[in-house]
Every structure is written in C-alpha cells, then in structure tokens.
Amino acid sequence: MATHPKQTSTPVLQLRNHIPISAGARREPEDGTSSPMRVSLGFEPAWFHLRCGVDFSERWHRDPLYRYQTLERMQRELFRAFPEAGCWRSGSLHDLATLSGCYGSCVIPHLFGVPLRYGADRWPALEPDMRLSLQEVEQLDADRLLAGPFVEALFEQMETMEREWGAIYGYLNWQGVLNNAFQLRGQDIFFDLLDRPEVADYLFSTITQVMIRLAQKVQQRQRESGFSVNHFCVSNCTVNMVSPDTYREFLFPYDERIALAFERFGVHTCNWNVTPYLDVLRQLPKVGYLDMGMESDMARVREMFPHARRAVLYSPVKLQEASVEEIAADMATIYHQLAPCDVVMADIQYSTPDQRVKDSLRICAELENQNLSEI
C-alpha cells in the first residue's frame, strides 16, 4: 500500500457539509453524531421563492429581522415536505437567527467594491463588466478595505442579531483565493498568472489577508455572543482551471496560510474530479474536510485522507433526471468507496419532484442500514 506524508502533527478536527436553509453549501464542525452516509440537502432560492413566496432581493441580505421571518416560513415548508430528512433543527435559532446566505458567494468581491445585482428568486451576482483593472489591483490595500462601509454594515447586522436573539449564528461564504480572484479579475487572472505573475501574487496576497482578518473578526464577535465558531473551508471551485503544478506554485501557499490561521480547516473542490490534485492537497495542514465529484478516485481519497470527513457532491441535474435505479447504483458506489462520508444534494431545483428527494433519502438510509447489519 502506498504511503503518504503526514499532514501535520496538529490533531485534525473534522468539518462536515452543512447547507443552511436557502443558502449555498457551507461547512460546520463535525460533532461525532454523523452517520456513515449522511445526506445533506439544499434547495435553490427559486424553490423557496415559488413555494413560500420569499423575496431574496437586497433586503433579505441586509435586514436580519426580515430574513428571520422568511426563514421561519422556509423551515416550516421543509419540515412539511421532508419530515424524514433530519437536516434542520426544530425549535432552534441556528437556522433562523443567522448570517448564513448573506450576500451569497460574493462577500469578498463586494467588500472589494464590486456592486451586486440582486434578484427575487436567486442569489446575488456581481454586476457584469465590473472587474478590477491592473491599476486598481496595484492600489489595493487590505487595511483600507477592512475599514470600508461594507464591513461596518455587516457588524451593524450582528449587533441587531445579538440584541434580538442573543447569539449570532451562521456562516458567511468566504469562497477561496482563486475563486475570489476570478470574480474580481475575470478570465484575466489566468493571463496574469502567465504574463504578470507578480500582479496575480499581489492580488492573491491581498485577498488572503482580507479573508483571514475579516473571518477572524466576524468569528470572534460570534464567539463573544455565545456561538462557537473557529473554522475555514476554502472553496476551490475554479482550481481545476489551472494545473496541479500551478496550484502548488501560486495558490497552495495561501491555502496553507488560511489553514494555519483557524482551528479547523477544509477544502471544497466542487463537483469535479479531484484526483489530479490529491498529492498537493495532501500537503495542506489540518485538512478535516474534503469534497469532490463522483468522477474522483474515491477509494484513493479515503486512503489518503483517513482523518478528514469526506463528501461527494451529487449533481442536481442528475438527481432530477436519472432513474431511481441509477441513483441507487451511484449511492452504493459512494458508500463502498468513500464512507464514512456526506452525500451533498445541493441546489435542488424547483422542478425536481419531492418524491425524488424522498427516494434518494430512502436509498441512502437503506444502504447504510444494510451495510451496518452486515458488520
């Protein structure tokens, strides 16, 4: 059997997948209660807009009182439709008095000054054609960015939440270094890597500083309110647009800095094949979570990351269009190659029948119980 270098002498603390109501997938601390094949369900905003009448425009992201009211409606609908799911906390403020979902995946780009375009039935998006020029990149300053109006407004929200409900729950979506750089520079970031590596490096460095410092500041405020949080999961959805060698040279050092700045750390790679990147990801410290697409060599992931909580992102399109038999075969493959793990069924579409979701939950539960009975 192949051997691999140890990640770190520091104990690895796990994270697991967590999809806040109406928000994109995030991570939360693994508390030891997760089953060997835990299903994590999430629905696109249009699902809630059409079924619950929720408007996800700008007020939803800036007004925690309004957000709480809409989350109550959404939670009731989820419990009604999927009482067997177990993904949500009945009678708990965690799902309602929350920062989760605020500004979608645009927290850092918006802080950098890119305007947002809101919609009643979708997450916010950056205004098109509002990317940073080379001159603007060269003038970036982390201290100035962190002292800007966006941060001030965010902390005003947290003050309101503490007054109303005590603890400030939830997880903002910080994304990852390349994800944020791509949002700020568009495809030019890849030309920067080739032609102007010093510009790319400066942008990566500034983004990393802002991500670490703001996340630490927000989480410190949350801890003071009574909500314990000290973790970071980088979202590396765009890393497959560069080679493993390019990731190692330009981006690994920043992911390493982020990992060392928090108690728990994870890597979200999105729904693509993580296999070519495993060797370099294995060198990151404290990897307590790693997800991937089904094309990945899941058995190798389990071997190389024995101390991490692992997860597979299952395509919402396939969830809707595949036969129940195909889904059952996929779930069996995931269980036997990767478990214990999470099965992430995120961004479920409004057009997906409830019965299809129920069938998927049943398949996973039956598979898990069958295999546990054989031990």
d(CA 345, CA 249): 33
pTM for the predicted model, two decimal places? 0.94
pLDDT tens readout for residues 53-70 = 999 999 999 999 999 999
Distance CA 46, CA 121 (A): 5
Instruction: Say if residue 309's pLDDT is above 90.
Output: yes
263-272 pLDDT tens trace: 999 999 999 9
Contacts of 93 (CB under 8 A, 6+ apart): 165, 166, 167, 169
Q: CB of 319 within 8 A of CB of 348?
A: yes
pLDDT over 80 (residue 214): yes
CA dihedral 360, 363, 366, 372 (to 10 degrees): -90
pLDDT, tens digit, for every residue of 147-173? 999 999 999 999 999 999 999 999 999
- Tell me the DSSP string of 138-151: HT--HHHHHTSHHH
Across the range 224-231, mean pLDDT stands at 98
pLDDT value, residue 9: 54
Mean per-residue pLDDT, 93-118? 97
Give which of 93, 110, 90, 94 is closest to 102, Cα–Cα: 110
Q: How far is CA 125 from the centre of its chain?
A: 16
CA distances from 283 to 242, 299, 306 (A): 18, 18, 14
The mean pLDDT of the chain is: 95
pLDDT band at 129 (very low <50, low <70, confident <90, very high): confident
pLDDT digits (tens, 9 = 90+) for 9-43: 567 999 999 999 999 999 999 999 999 999 999 99
CATH topology of domain 15-373: TIM Barrel (3.20.20)
Report the C-alpha gap between 106 and 23 in whole angstroms.
Answer: 12
Task: Give percent above pLDDT 70 in the chain.
Answer: 96
What is the model's pLDDT at position 10? 63
Question: Tokens 């982020």 map to which residue?
Answer: 258
Residue 2: predicted pLDDT: 35
Q: Which pLDDT does position 372 carry in this prediction?
A: 53
How far apart CA 211 and CA 227 sit, in angstroms, is 20
Report the alpha-carbon angle 87-92-98, nearest 5.
85
Task: Yes or no: say if 21 and 74 are a contact pair by the CB < 8 Å rule.
Answer: yes
* Token couple for 148: 């800007």
Distances (CA, A) of 10 to 90, 284, 288: 35, 12, 11
**Local structure of residue 127 (DSSP, 8 states):** P
Tokens of 326: 């195909």
How confident is the model at residue 371, as a pLDDT? Answer: 65
Confidence of residue 8 (pLDDT cuts 50, 70, 90): very low
The pLDDT assigned to 6 comes to 42
pLDDT at 91: 75
